[in-house]
Chains A and B, each alone.
Chain A
Amino acid sequence: MAIVILSLSLGVLYQAAVGATRNARVAAEYSRAIVIAESVLADSLSPMTNDLSIQGQFEDIRWSASTRELPVEGPSDSDLNSANPLLLLEVRVTWGDEDRPRALALSTVIAGQVDQ
């Protein structure tokens, strides 16, 4: 009986230790993914990126960045938007295996290229 209780207790403790280790690893992966996302965001701030669609990989972390014109409502705003468009820049970072994929996304608004 004592052995059964001991084995159950150790099993629970073991699961807790494995879970804590996994959580620490996932937190570290998120930290790396955020650094990548912020770097891609900084690298994509050029105003000449109206139709940006790029992707890449750092170790086992994949990233992609794209821009699309931000729709602005109202006639006067539309005129302004066509003259100097605002773009939504989105950066998406994915990693992990197929069973447990992980992802994060950052976005910002940048000034688009003005057509001459």
Chain B
Amino acid sequence: MTLVEVMVASVVFAMVMLATITAMRTFATSYERIVAAGAEANVLREVSHFLRESLRNAVAESSNFRGDKRQLMWLAPLDRAGSAGGLQHMRLRRQGDELILSFAPYDSERPQGEEPPWGDFVADYPLIRDVQRFELAYKMEADSAWVGAAIHTLADGNEADQVPWEIRISIETSSSVWPPILVHPDAVVVER
């Protein structure tokens, strides 16, 4: 084997290795992108589906619904999430960079106006982990404008909570702006 042959073989080997390494790096980047895109789409699908279903089934009682721009509390049946199930109070709010869902079991003997025991039975659950913006809005009647609180004015001039005609949830994460999630509650009534 001459020196020229050794050099040619080395150059060919270097080219093959370069092509292989470049290809492997491209595949690794593609894999990371696919995993990230898949995870983001999964979170969008799961969170929007859960919120839509749960808020559609929100019990139509003003004493069990409270909403402003930053947080939303409602009462709805829950199939099962972790160890929570049955009729549950739920609260959605942003805490730091997380969108947190809190649970408290419904208790018919709890005095009206008393705060449900959030997190006493089931730990808070982070629905989204990198929230940059979270905002709620409400349409109190079908043809009314969007407002920042789910309240209506009584005949005596006082304000009271009310389950709205429609709820709008706006979410922005570090990687994307979500389409607004609009939900029309079905005015569910609970027989007691």
Contacts and interface: CB of A to CB of B under 8 A. Distances in A.
A43 interface: yes
Residues of A in contact with B, size category: 20 to 34
B116 to A, nearest CB: 27
Contacts of A40: 182
Given A3-B12, A25-B37, A46-B142, A17 B182 contact: no
Contacts of B166: 42-43
A13 B184 CA distance: 47
B84 interface: no
B27 A31 contact: no
A31 B44 contact: yes
A48 B16 CA distance: 69
A17 B143 contact: no
Given A17-B26, A46-B143, A48-B142, A24 B34 contact: yes
Contacts of A35: 44, 48, 178-179, 181
Interface in A24-54: 24-25, 27-28, 31-32, 34-36, 38-40, 42-43, 45-48
* B16, B20, B34 — most chain A CB neighbours (10 Å): B34
A45 to B, nearest CB: 5
Nearest to B43: A31
Please give me the 7 A-B residue pairs with the lowest Cβ-Cβ distance, nearest first.
A39-B182, A46-B142, A17-B30, A28-B41, A24-B37, A24-B34, A31-B41
